[in-house]
Amino acid sequence: MQINGVEIEDTFAEAFEMYAARVLITAKNEKWALISATSMTGFGTSIIMCECEAGIENVVSAEETPDGRPGVNVLVFAASKGCLEEQLMKRIGQCVMTSPTTACFNNLSGEKKISVGGKLRYFGDGHEVSKSIGNRRMWAIPVMDGEFLVEDEFEIAKGVGGGNFIILGRDADPVLSASEKAVDAIKKVRNVITPFPGGIVRCGSKIGSKYNFLDASANTAYCPTLKTKVRSELPEDVNAALEIVIDGLDVGSVGKAMREGINAACTTEGVVKITAESFGGKLGGYQIHLRKLFGAGSSSEK
């Protein structure tokens, strides 16, 4: 199968179950909502070291928010409910409560409720006040520009982490250009994020290492400088590869994001092949097959 002359390998991305939350940050204007959201999602690329994966999902108009102000949706994913609760507490407390003019709301219907504002309120040192916005219970915590409003409870749900595809090309420039196009296309898909810097992964990982103190290490099979030293997955005419990793609230959204991203990537001259990272069924319960994303007889297939 090819799209615009780019081979789509007959393989699958191996994704896995995670727990997810959606946080809606509002502010005086879109600028400050985005600043706060950007801060909250910092150091949230991979659970290998960051404990969670976080990213900006989309900008929300003032007409769609509980307090009638511009907002930004942030998605946060973690391996366990407890870890997700801890990360929400830390990131909202240190990155949203500290940002001028912000307020913070739950924006997900999930399987479990966790106390966030109900715990952050203690920072008010006894001066915090319970308030309501519609049917939402909020806490007003005194801060130096007035009050920080944060919802009492946030909901979490099962999500999907690790959807991915790898772009192989003749050299680094077309691969980066294709990756940027892919991320731009994925940004139009709801319920997903691309948590790595700019949505692009330069250093993919594999399970295990020659060093027994590491659980993961560089995916050497896709490193061009190692083509003659290891069992390489790079064809002879490929000298660069970049990966796009996608987390989502459901596997259908992750698959849609992968399809849109691959289509966009395949419009770049110099891209040779699209593949995906799988782990032999050792990591996750979801297998997202690349060719099935487009369907038999799809107009994308040539």
Task: Give me 255's structure tokens.
Answer: 């698959």
C-alpha distances in Å from residue 94, one per residue of 90, 97, 120, 138:
6, 6, 10, 18
- Same domain, yes or no: 226 and 247: yes
pTM as predicted = 0.94
Range of the domain at 6: 2-15+160-293
Q: Is 149 inside a domain boundary?
A: yes
- Same domain, yes or no: 122 and 196: no
The DSSP output letter for 214 is -
Q: How confident is the model at residue 224 (pLDDT cuts 50, 70, 90)?
A: very high
- Same domain, yes or no: 271 and 289: yes
pLDDT tens across 134-155, in order?
A: 999 999 999 999 999 999 999 9
**Would you say residue 245 has pLDDT above 90?**
yes
Vertex 183 angle, CA 181 and 185, to 5°: 70
Task: Please report, rounded to a whole number, the percentage of residues in the chain having pLDDT higher than 90.
Answer: 92
Q: Is 301 inside a domain boundary?
A: no
At 39 the three-state DSSP class reads helix
**Would you say residue 2 has pLDDT above 80?**
yes
- Same domain, yes or no: 72 and 105: yes
**Would you say residue 298 has pLDDT above 80?**
no
DSSP H or E stretch at residue 85: helix 81-91
CB atoms under 10 Å from CB of 146, counted, come to 10
Overall size of the chain counted in residues: 302
User: Residue type at 233?
Assistant: E
Burial 212-245 (b: 16+ CB within 10 A, else e): eeeeeeebbbbbeeebeeeebbbeeebbbbbbbb
What's the total number of domains in the chain? Answer: 2
Last residue of a domain, one of 157, 186, 204: 157
Distance CA 32, CA 189 (A): 23
- Same domain, yes or no: 140 and 190: no
Which of 27, 22, 95, 21 has its CA nearest to residue 58? Answer: 22
Question: What would the mean pLDDT of 257-276 be, rounded to a whole number?
Answer: 98
